[in-house]
Amino acid sequence: MHKPALKNDRYLRALMKQPVDRTPVWMMRQAGRYLPEYKATRAQAGDFMSLCRNTELACEVTLQPLRRYDLDAAILFSDILTIPDAMGLELYFETGEGPKFAKPITSVEQIEQLAVPDMGSDLRYVTDAVSLIRQELQGNVPLIGFSGSPWTLATYMVEGGSTKNFSKVKQLMFAEPEAMHKLLDVLADSVIDYLNAQIEAGAQSVMVFDTWGGVLSPRDYKLFSLTYMEKIVNGLTKESEGRTVPVTLFTKNGGQWLEAMAATGTTGLGVDWTTDLGDARARVGDQVALQGNMDPSVLYASPARIEDEVKTILASFGEGTGHVFNLGHGIHPEVDPEHAGAFIEAIHKHSPQYHK
């Protein structure tokens, strides 16, 4: 399939630390519950997983924010838990409660049975969506593919869903470390295949979301999370369609480990709002690009307050390339879409001065 040339490659250029005319912007969860058009499409699909598995509707919700806002990237609409679902754990969503597994991991024997899913059959719905989105984007902006990190996937698989104290997964980690490493290893292999399949289908950049890495001690973070993300970085397709495929690693509450994360060979690092962006830049230097890092809750404020925050973050990063503006985590469902628009406009207005 012929893929049209990219008209706006600001996002890819910033990740590669190449010159840009203004700081590129996209938002985590930009396709999602804060948009009325998304809610209508989800209602049409019936439920969340049906929406993910419907190629046309997954494409539609991916494109919705781009019709509304002048963003510099699209991100595939999917869920971070597609891999464990394809491994047979049966993902479903309880209203207001988040993801759950019908068959969570409760024994070492179950871990022994796990295998890397077949991307061509078990996860074909994801790569089909990537191909269609690439076609529909017509080269307007690049498409980001993504996955959850092995540690984050393992957390949901062992806990059976969301958790506050991580007791089951940490029990496995401390009492049965060998089994834990076996689980993380098969997940890392799965993520490599999964992201490479997305790249082959047309994703021009990929991101690994380590939502729960921040609940670990520094030693355990390196052992049980970062080691496996480094394995993924090393296993990814480095080039596609004649250009580099950048990879971004994001550990929520992981600001204390930026140096170690940068040493994995990743292209970019996501930074949440608990770390000052200027400090982050000083620490990792020119090794990696940085993505972030406005507190999503600032979008509840007035457009003037949002603009002030954008100016503060731009000034904190300072002059030059290597910054992809984003929220420090996903946009909240209750945010007024007009406020998201004010956020994006503020970046367009104030960032060119940093790229003279």
Annotated binding site for substrate: 29-33, 79, 156, 211, 329
Tokens linked to 96: 């207001």
CA distances (Å), origin 276, targets 170, 208, 256, 293: 30, 21, 11, 8
CB atoms within 10 A of CB 5: 8
Q: Which helix (H) or strand (E) holds 186?
A: helix 177-201
Task: Tell me if residue 29 is catalytic.
Answer: yes
Q: Is residue 145 within 8 Å of residue 78, measured between CB atoms? A: no
Q: Which of 13, 29, 53, 281 is catalytic?
A: 29
Q: How far apart are CA 26 and CA 344, in angstroms?
A: 8
Three-state DSSP at 250 gives strand
Q: Which of 68, 79, 220, 300 is catalytic?
A: 79
Q: How far apart are CA 291 and CA 79, in angstroms?
A: 20
Q: Is residue 238 within 8 Å of residue 245, measured between CB atoms? A: yes
Q: How far apart are CA 282 and CA 210, in angstroms?
A: 23
CA distances (Å), origin 214, targets 4, 29, 144, 210, 245: 39, 20, 23, 8, 26
Task: Tell me if residue 156 is catalytic.
Answer: yes
Tokens linked to 48: 């969340």
Task: Tell me if residue 134 is catalytic.
Answer: no
Q: Which of 34, 156, 194, 228 is catalytic?
A: 156
DSSP letters, 82-117, are: HHHIIIII-EEEETTTEEEESS---SHHHHHH----
Q: Is residue 42 within 8 Å of residue 48, measured between CB atoms? A: yes
Three-state DSSP at 344 gives helix
Annotated binding site: 29-33, 79, 156, 211, 329
Task: Tell me if residue 79 is catalytic.
Answer: yes
> Tokens 């988040």 identify what position?
98
Residue type, 15: L
Three-state DSSP at 164 gives coil
Q: Which of 42, 124, 243, 305 is catalytic?
A: 42
CA distances (Å), origin 188, targets 153, 235, 352: 10, 9, 39
Q: Is residue 49 within 8 Å of residue 92, measured between CB atoms? A: yes
- Residues labelled as active-site residues: 29, 33, 42, 79, 156
